[in-house]
């Protein structure tokens, strides 16, 4: 079967693959925020993005993988990690953005729903790890490692553990909500960890 030509905003001819990919991710991201994970099928995304379903099958192993990459792409700019040279300032800015994202109903509910569904769906869990949590963790570890080289964090500290004590602590308040998730909480997380809590 011949693959149908991509149709789209340019109206004629075949669009470059990178452009199609970008449109598909934007479309899947918008659908994810509108309808949640259940709204994401290759067929629906392809139809709305003006792309062929075969192209989507070629690029993503599952609709879940597409959904996570779309989510990651949608929130990438919000969650970018600054490097001003001051780790406390950069952690504060990044965690404030992150808390903002988790407490905005559209984005917060989506990530909670994705994390929840991945508990009983191993393929979804793999896609979430590969397309979302691994890349995000790497960005944080990179910034923390630079702070270590700059002598702002002790050399023996494992940056991976710090990720769980900052971002992981926020996910805990999102997924098992007992206490408020806000910027004051983010500031307390950073203060506890940088200074230590010992009396």
Is residue 193 a contact point for its own copies (CB under 8 A)?
yes
Contact 140, 167 (CB under 8 A): yes
Task: Return the residue of 30, 54, 79, 117 that touches its own copies, per CB under 8 A.
Answer: 117
Contact status: 95 vs its own copies (CB under 8 A): no
Nearer Cβ to its own copies, position 2 or 178?
Answer: 178
Token duo for residue 46: 């392809």
Per rule CB under 8 A, count of chain residues that contact its own copies: 51
Sequential DSSP letters for 78-133: TT-----S-HHHHHHHHHHHHHHHHHSHHHHHHHHHHHHHTTS-HHHHHHHIIIII
Q: Other C-beta atoms within 10 Å of 36: how many?
A: 16
Under the binding rule (CB under 8 A), the answer on residue 77 touching its own copies is: no
- What is the smallest separation between the CB atom of 136 and its own copies, expressed in angstroms? 9
Vertex 97 angle, CA 152 and 48, to 5°? 135
Is residue 185 near its own copies by the rule CB under 8 A? yes
- The two tokens of residue 5 are 């030509």
Q: Cβ of residue 79: shortest distance to its own copies, in angstroms?
A: 15
Residues that bind its own copies (CB under 8 A): 112-113, 115-120, 125, 128-129, 133-134, 137, 147-148, 151-155, 157-158, 160-162, 164-165, 167-173, 175-179, 185, 188-189, 192-199
């Amino acid at each position: 079967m011949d693959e149908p030509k991509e149709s789209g905003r340019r109206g004629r001819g075949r669009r470059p693959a990178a452009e199609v990919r970008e449109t598909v991710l934007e479309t899947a991201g918008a659908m994810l925020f509108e309808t949640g994970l259940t709204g994401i099928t290759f067929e629906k995304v392809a139809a709305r993005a003006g792309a062929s379903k075969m192209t989507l099958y070629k690029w993503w192993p599952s609709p879940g993988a597409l959904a996570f990459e779309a989510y990651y792409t949608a929130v990438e700019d919000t969650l970018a990690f600054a490097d001003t040279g001051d780790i406390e300032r950069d952690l504060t800015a990044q965690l404030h953005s992150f808390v903002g994202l988790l407490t905005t109903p559209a984005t917060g509910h989506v990530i909670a729903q994705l994390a929840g569904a991945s508990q009983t769906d191993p393929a979804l869990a793999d896609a979430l790890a590969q397309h979302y949590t691994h890349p995000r963790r790497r960005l944080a570890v990179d910034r923390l490692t630079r702070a270590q080289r700059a002598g702002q964090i002790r050399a023996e500290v494992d940056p991976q553990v710090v990720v769980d004590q900052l971002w992981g602590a926020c996910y805990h308040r999102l997924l098992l909500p007992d206490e408020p998730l806000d910027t004051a909480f983010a500031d307390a997380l950073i203060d506890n960890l940088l200074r230590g809590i010992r009396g």
